[in-house]
Structure 1
């Protein structure tokens, strides 16, 4: 599967607002790929992500990086003593003491000076180079599905290392390159103050080798799970009428009171409700050659609404009386 194909699947399945952005750290001796432009004015690394998601393929040697902190962290140049010491973080009042600033700097992922000669940044479907990472601008729900897709493929949960400092360089490029695992970022002072990332958006970076398995997983998740979640199939019909907790009911009264109503005329007897019910409330019974769902154990119902959400006929209603 090529990158344009993967981009289309990602955009369609996740309903992405912005195209994913491919990023490559150019190693010493590599030639500049075709169809890339060096911007007329220097850009911060975070700004280059924004410019690329608009459709531009960028080549940024050190002279085209506007953020000395970012270019130093990325291993393009030697970081200045003032940045390396942490003094500027105190001057900006972003950290309280030099000790804390140095601790943050010491724990921050970085590359050694001279490790790379330039950054390449482009829309994934237009990249003329092999990316190291692919950066997504997402809503939290979309980020959730990328994480689900990785778990679908690997069976593993994700662990993220992030901070509100040096987000698009340290968190989105270096951390995934060093670990081979996806990472998340909420942006940082510089990224949010100098670029157009919206308040409700965040970033998620995927190492390039993980991308194709994630795309294949999203195709599977897009067949059922994603559309169901977006339809809010388990949303109770009267969510705002909460009432008192069952445990607060007067002594001697029925503290459960859950009723599971199954419309026999609508029920197809397909067994989905019984199969999906985690508590064994519903069973499939056969009478006169007809299969029908029956709520045999309503006292076990936790009102998770899984049965109602999975029923294609919408034949199940649940109430708490």
Structure 2
């Protein structure tokens, strides 16, 4: 898959509002792509991500980086002693004391000064360079499906290392480049104070080798799981009753399961999906149909009702 196709898959399956952003740290000796332009004013790294998701392809050497902290973390310049010492975190009242600030700085991922000479950012679909990472602007639900996609491809759970400090540079670029693993960022003081990321948005950064397996996973997940979740197929009326009365002592939930025999196709989906073995297929006048043979086991999870394509199953409490 090329980057245009990958971008299209991510945008279509997740209903993304913004283009995924390709990021590359330009190595010493590498030439910048002709399509990448230097911005007319210096930008923070977090601001350049916003500019790229709007469609801009940018080249940012050190003189175009407005945030000295970010430029130092990305390995473009030597970090100033005041930033390295943690003193500024106390002046901003973002840390309680110097020891805590220094502990955070010591644990922060960063590249040595001079390792890279510039940053390149562009929409993934139009990137004229090979990205190191791709940054997605997501809602929490979309981020969930990105995690599901990687687990679908690998069988592994996702673990993130992040902070509310230096998160767009350290957590979205350095951390995934060093680890080769996807990482999340909720933004940081600088990113949220100086860019247009919305309060309900977060960032997810993906190393390039993971893009294609995740895209293939999303194509599979979008056939059933994603649309079902978005349709809220298990959102049942019982939620409206919560808190309406207190159950009497010893009272348990007694669930009645209604199966419309005229609608039931006997396809067995409800039987297969029921986690408690409540349902079975039995022979009826018109062939096999679902029956609740062990209603006492029903926990009212509504999986059977949600999975039935005919909407033939309803649950109620006695």
TM-score (norm 2): 0.98
| Aligned mate of 1:281, from 278, 281, 289 | 278
Q: Indicate the SS of the match to 1:117.
A: strand
Q: Indicate the SS of the match to 1:283.
A: strand
Structure 1 partner of 2:13: 13
Q: How far apart are the structure 2 equivalents of 1:243 and 1:236?
A: 15
1:38-117 equivalences in 2 (<5 Å): 38-117=38-117
Residues 36, 58 of structure 1: 8 Å contact kept: yes
Structure 2 partner of 1:35: 35
Structure 1 partner of 2:248: 249
Q: Indicate the SS of the match to 1:314.
A: coil
Instruction: Report Cα offsets for 1:272-292 as digits up to 9, x if no partner.
Output: 000000000110111245110
| Aligned mate of 2:269, from 250, 267, 272 | 272
Q: How far apart are the structure 2 equivalents of 1:52 and 1:288?
A: 63
Residues 256, 299 of structure 1: 8 Å contact kept: no
Q: How far apart are the structure 1 equivalents of 2:189 and 2:108?
A: 15
Unmatched tracts of structure 1, length 5 or more: none
Q: How far apart are the structure 1 equivalents of 2:294 and 2:34?
A: 67
Q: How many residue pairs get matched? A: 318
Residues 55, 122 of structure 1: 8 Å contact kept: yes
**Structure 1 range deviating more: 126-135 or 229-238:** 229-238
Q: How far apart are the structure 2 equivalents of 1:279 and 1:19?
A: 43
Q: How far apart are the structure 2 equivalents of 1:171 and 1:319?
A: 48
Q: How far apart are the structure 1 equivalents of 2:180 and 2:174?
A: 10
1:1-321 equivalences in 2 (<5 Å): 1-243=1-243, 248-251=247-250, 255-288=252-285, 290-321=287-318
Unmatched tracts of structure 2, length 5 or more: none
Q: How far apart are the structure 2 equivalents of 1:243 and 1:265?
A: 35
Q: Please give the root-mean-square deviation of Cα atoms over the aligned residues, in Å.
A: 1.2
Q: Indicate the SS of the match to 2:69.
A: helix
Pairwise CA distance, 1:208: 0.5
Pairwise CA distance, 1:133: 0.3
Change (3 A) 1:243 1:280: farther
TM-score (norm 1): 0.97
